Amino acid sequence: MKRILVPVDFSIQAEYAAKVAASIAKRTNAKIYLLHMLELPSGVIDPTSFGTSNNTPTALLFLKRAHERFEEFKELPFFEGLEMEETVHFHKAYDGIISESTKHKVDLIVMGSRGASGLEEILVGSNTEKVVRNSEIPVLVIKEDVDDFKIENIVFASNFKLENRKAFQNILNFTAKFGAKLHLLKINTIHNFETTKDSSDAIRSFINEFDLGDFTLNIYNDISVEAGVLNFSKLIEADIIVLNTHGRRGLAHLFNGSIGEDLANHAKLPVVTFKL
């Protein structure tokens, strides 16, 4: 893990994410890329004609102020000793994050999130949710301040269908970087029930031929998959939840939902998603 991207809107949640990213960077000797997107009204700046617009002085003022705020942001004590690079772009946040992550070939995106609920979550969503849904790069979502960020116990929740194995080695690589214990978790609900033996057999078939290191195999019953993941994670005092996301879009996303996005919105624990 050599490159970590941290989108920054100068909110307290962005500071929480940056603090976690700094902790990971110190352990992995990674460089941090700080990114701020200036989403200005179209009447203020047209990104396609920057430098020719009559409103360029106004845009430059916003740009100057963003860099000034970055200078203050980079003085946060947890950044000490780290290699960093800051970027400010006139772009929509989601598009800019995906573009920059590809440009710099980053290994991990660390984002802060306030979460969302109700119609806001269903109809609008957050930039974090959009990135989680579409990023080809793992996304770590941070909700709260973590004083001593560590990864010792990882919960990997899955349906353990064989077609979902293609991202599993990446998850194992992530686990190995922190020397963590991996807790494999299958949630059974009343609407999607299977016997313990069937669940256990599915998990063992899924992990066959992989070198997992230190791990446990767990089958947990709850009223919903989301509730089960959260309750089990709390029970074992997990440090982080790891999930796959399918990147559903449009009506399929609206009606079927995505456990990865829901947990990224609702879990207080850090959640990292890997795209299938």
Please check whether residues 92 and 192 belong to one and the same domain.
no
Which helix (H) or strand (E) is 27 found in, with range? helix 12-28
> How distant, in Å, are the alpha carbons of 110, 171, 264 from that of 17?
6, 20, 13
Q: Are 237 and 124 part of one and the same domain?
A: no
Arithmetic mean of pLDDT, 67-85: 92
Mean per-residue pLDDT, 226-255 = 78
| Domain stops at, among 109, 142, 175 | 142
User: What secondary structure letter does DSSP report for 123?
Assistant: I
Q: What is the mean pLDDT of residues 217-223?
A: 95
Tally of domains within the chain = 2
Q: Is residue 148 part of a domain?
A: no
What is the pLDDT at residue 265? 67
**Cα–Cα distance measured from residue 123 to residue 119, given in angstroms and rounded to the nearest whole number:** 6
Can you say whether the dihedral through the CA atoms of 241, 187, 263, 251 is positive or negative?
A: positive
Decide if pLDDT at 118 tops 70.
Answer: no
Torsion of CA 243, 142, 138, 221, to 10 degrees: 0
CB neighbour burial string for 144-156, b if at least 16 within 10 angstroms, e if fewer = eebeebebebbbb
Rounded percentage of the chain residues whose pLDDT exceeds 90:
51
Per-residue confidence band for 119, with pLDDT thresholds at 50, 70 and 90: very low
Which of 142, 174, 195 lies at the terminal end of a domain, its last residue? 142
Residue 249 has what pLDDT?
53
Q: Give the domain range for residue 183.
A: 153-275
As a whole number, the mean pLDDT across the chain is 83
Last residue of a domain, one of 142, 177, 206: 142
Task: Quote the CA–CA distance of 183 and 180 in Å, as a whole number.
Answer: 10
**Counting runs of H as helices and runs of E as strands, what totals does the chain give?**
10, 10
Are 217 and 243 part of one and the same domain? yes
Q: Name the E strands within 11-134.
A: 31-38, 84-90, 108-112
Whether residue 133 is found in the same domain as residue 173: no
Q: The CATH number of the domain where 70 resides is what?
A: 3.40.50.620
What lies within 8 Å, CB to CB, of 82 at 6+ separation is 22, 25, 26, 31, 32
Same domain, 136 and 22: yes
Whether 221 is in a domain gets the answer: yes
* One domain for residues 114 and 24: yes
What was the pLDDT predicted at 222? 94
136 and 14 within one domain: yes
Q: Same domain, yes or no, for 256 and 192?
A: yes
- Does some domain include residue 32? yes
Query: Does one domain contain both 162 and 137?
Result: no
pLDDT band for 126, please (50, 70, 90 cuts).
low
Query: What's the mean pLDDT in 47-69?
Result: 66
Enumerate the β-bridge partners of residue 155.
183, 241
Q: Is residue 170 part of a domain?
A: yes
Q: What is the pLDDT of residues 204-216, one digit of tens each?
A: 999 999 999 899 9
Judged by average pLDDT, the poorest of 30-39, 193-202, 260-269 is: 260-269
Residue 217 CA to residue 231 CA, distance in Å, equals 16
Q: Tokens in use for 35? A: 């990114």
- The residue count of the chain comes to 276
261 near 127, Cβ under 8 Å? no
pLDDT at 201: 96
- pLDDT of 141 > 60? The answer is yes
